[in-house]
Structure 1
Amino acid sequence: MEHNHDNIKLTSAEVSYLWNTYLGDSLSICVFKYFLEHVEDKEIKTITTHALDLSQQHIETIQSIFLNEGIQIPQGFTEQDVNLKSKRLFTDVFYLKYIKNMTKGGLATYGRLLQNIYRHDIRSFFSKCLTSTIELDTEVVRLLLEKGIAACPPTIPYPQKIEFVHKQSFFLEGLGRRDALTGAEVANLHSNIETNQLGTSLAIAFSQVAQSNKVRKFILRGNDIASKHIKVFSSYLEMNSLPVPMSFDQEVTESTESPFSDKLMLFHFGLMIYAGIGNYGVAISESRKSDLVVDYTRLTAEILKLSEDFANIIVANEWLEQPPLSANRKDLTKG
């Protein structure tokens, strides 16, 4: 069945999702191009090339949609934001771990935003984004397992019989602490530790090469917060004799030559901050352990404060492109 889009305007959701995707993929193109300048492992190179190709396809499709709709194409990130000749800042193992974390974010994002998309061509585009991200994630997981560096969530005992909760203390530890974690709680703790570990690794790398002292100080503060959150989440797993994912900070080299602009590095850090807020929100909704919910809530407040400081720096440097906005009726009615 043919769909004519000539008279169907993009909704606020569709315009915003396309705009944000453009910015994110333009950043990814810079990062993956730099990775490919140094990668030595043939299989990791193949996966990195695949990731780059997907981001480039996304950019081309969005550009076409915006041109047809008469929408200004964002500047995003360009060749001015990456120095492909700079020294190696990360190892090949980091590249693979990085792409795994990016696919995890992509799967969550595309699945969420598809719920608010109605125009057929935009649904088709984001559906393809989701499918291709699943395929890339499958490739990455296979290679992580083959190389013995996959950080899988811990196992827990299989249920052997049907049981029902008899005490309210299952939820309220004040009435009798429940030390055991549910499977969902374990999975979210493990995932949030891994995400924060990527944050600390990037913070170490970016702080080594940042040109601006303000940007460096902000990134180092983010590193302190991520390290603290890792300790909090790890303590829950350790109390249950469950393994904690191993850090990959050692996959950052000693290079002090920046491959990326301060604008790109700060924006990248900002994306991870906002992703972290979303991840903690999901964890809260899936947690039945009240002390864990309190910790997630408390730590979310810390990230929100960091996001405010991020916004102040990026605006002060005029690095933030204005996103699509609704009409300001008050301004339009002024004489």
Structure 2
Amino acid sequence: MDYENPISVSELGTLWITYQEKTMILRILEYFIEKSDDQEAKNIMGMMWQELDYYVEIMKKIFKSEGAVIPKGFTKEDVNLDAPNLFDNGFDIMFLRILKEVSMGMYTINMNMAYRVDVMTLYEGLTTITHKCYKLATLYLLKKGILTLPPNVTIPKKTEFIESKKYMRGYKLFSEKRALNSIEVGFLHHGIEVNNIGMQLITGFAQSAKNKEVRQYFEKGKELAKKHIKTFRDLLLENDIQFSSTSGSTVTTSTIAPFSDKLMMFCIDFLNGFSIVGESFGAFFTLRNDIALKTALLTKDVYFYGQEGLEIMFKHGWYEEPPQTEDRNRLINRNE
């Protein structure tokens, strides 16, 4: 590839993390496709696999043309297609939908850090197929009765403006909290939905991981997901809003790992980052201070849980090192 500008540090960094993520998703899709007995689900996942594999090859070409080492990412060594079903009843498409939700946010950030036409074109293409896959997955899950819709709300008939800081009140002991607004209900519903899927995912990982330390880490994550669900559900119930959890998706009794401990740890680390960003975004648009504070405390828990996971990955040599900038001090003092 002949481009006027060499690849920038930001482009190299975003391509590296995108390569890690995409090779991880390819391995996950290979397992789910192998185990699926639903042709429509297989078609959605097969289409996604073909598209992602195409863009992984494009990323390899970019790395090669720049003289950069091609990341290892995740390979056939990280998936066991002979492992029995670890998840059942539509979990494959539910999880794929969550992964594509994360990807949407990633591509927006990555596009903002791209300056070369080929890199921008890559993220533009990935964005298009992600939107398509997310839509297909959502329609499939609704048709199967696996995905539940958010609560309904009374439709507003006139425009109103907030006239007092009392609107933000949530922790005053002797005052009544206002009802949740539609933005807050939507955020809480989404938080329950994604943490419900996350809890099932990490439960399956916990019962199948080979390393004892990894199993214990996943068990801790399962309890953290439960804490999120309880916090968000209690806030809805206080406002007389009942959340209907997703039906169907289950974890089987299998203890045979379909993925390497390395892949499962990276997957949870990846989702931890999404949780921090997503909940911070929701808290920013929440206008009741009790919800914002509770969300901030949950985000803090996820951050420290993620740090613990990184330490485990570093300890076992499971985290591939991203491209580094030059260590000038080491070069200057090399002969001392």
Measure the CA separation in 1 of the matches of 2:42 and 2:267.
22
Pairwise CA distance, 1:177 = 4.1
2:329 matched to which residue of 1?
Answer: 330
1:260 matched to which residue of 2?
Answer: 259
1:77 matched to which residue of 2?
Answer: 74
Tell whether 2:309 aligns with 1:294. no
1:169 matched to which residue of 2?
Answer: 166
Pairwise CA distance, 1:248 = 5.8
The 5 Å alignment of 1:151-230 reads: 151-174=148-171, 176-230=175-229
Measure the CA separation in 1 of the matches of 2:111 and 2:176.
40
| Distance 1:128-1:250 versus aligned 2 partners, 3 A rule | closer
Give the residue type in structure 2 aligned to 1:194: E
| Distance 1:287-1:319 versus aligned 2 partners, 3 A rule | same
Give the residue type in structure 2 aligned to 1:112: I
Pairwise CA distance, 1:148 = 2.3
Give the residue type in structure 1 aligned to 2:169: L
Q: Give the TM-score normalised by structure 1.
A: 0.95
Measure the CA separation in 1 of the matches of 2:43 and 2:249.
23
Measure the CA separation in 2 of the matches of 1:301 and 1:177.
28
Pairwise CA distance, 1:245 = 4.4
SS across alignment from 2:163: coil
1:306 matched to which residue of 2?
Answer: 305
Give the residue type in structure 2 aligned to 1:244: F
Tell whether 2:99 aligns with 1:102. yes
Measure the CA separation in 1 of the matches of 2:177 and 2:124.
41
Q: Which moved more, 1:39-48 or 1:7-16?
A: 7-16
Residue pair 1:44, 1:92 contacting (<8 A) in 2 also: no
Pairwise CA distance, 1:182 = 2.1
Give the residue type in structure 2 aligned to 1:30: R
Give the residue type in structure 2 aligned to 1:137: Y
Residue pair 1:190, 1:245 contacting (<8 A) in 2 also: no
Pairwise CA distance, 1:173 = 3.1
Unaligned runs of 5+ residues in structure 2 are none
Residue pair 2:89, 2:249 contacting (<8 A) in 1 also: no
Pairwise CA distance, 1:226 = 0.8
| Distance 1:232-1:272 versus aligned 2 partners, 3 A rule | same
Q: Which moved more, 1:325-334 or 1:156-165?
A: 325-334
Pairwise CA distance, 1:131 = 0.8
Pairwise CA distance, 1:5 = 4.7
| Distance 1:140-1:249 versus aligned 2 partners, 3 A rule | closer
The superposition leaves residues 167-215 of structure 1 with CA deviations (integer Å, 9 ceiling, x where unpaired) of 2111133564433122221121111211111211011111111111000
SS across alignment from 1:173: coil
Residue pair 2:90, 2:249 contacting (<8 A) in 1 also: no
Measure the CA separation in 1 of the matches of 2:204 and 2:97.
18
| Distance 1:330-1:255 versus aligned 2 partners, 3 A rule | same
Pairwise CA distance, 1:10 = 1.6
Measure the CA separation in 2 of the matches of 1:12 and 1:80.
30
The superposition leaves residues 49-107 of structure 1 with CA deviations (integer Å, 9 ceiling, x where unpaired) of 11211221221110011011111111111111111111111114111111111111111
Aligned residues: 332
Residue pair 1:106, 1:133 contacting (<8 A) in 2 also: yes
Q: Give the TM-score normalised by structure 2.
A: 0.94
The superposition leaves residues 118-147 of structure 1 with CA deviations (integer Å, 9 ceiling, x where unpaired) of 211111110111011111111112212222
Within the candidate set 88, 95, 98, 2:85 is matched to 88
Give the residue type in structure 1 aligned to 2:237: E
Pairwise CA distance, 1:249 = 8.2
Measure the CA separation in 1 of the matches of 2:42 and 2:160.
49
1:121 matched to which residue of 2?
Answer: 118
Residue pair 2:146, 2:249 contacting (<8 A) in 1 also: no
The sequence identity of aligned pairs, in percent, is 28
Measure the CA separation in 2 of the matches of 1:172 and 1:287.
11
Residue pair 1:41, 1:92 contacting (<8 A) in 2 also: no
| Distance 1:141-1:249 versus aligned 2 partners, 3 A rule | closer
Residue pair 2:203, 2:222 contacting (<8 A) in 1 also: yes
Residue pair 1:103, 1:136 contacting (<8 A) in 2 also: yes
Measure the CA separation in 1 of the matches of 2:109 and 2:209.
33
1:32 matched to which residue of 2?
Answer: 29
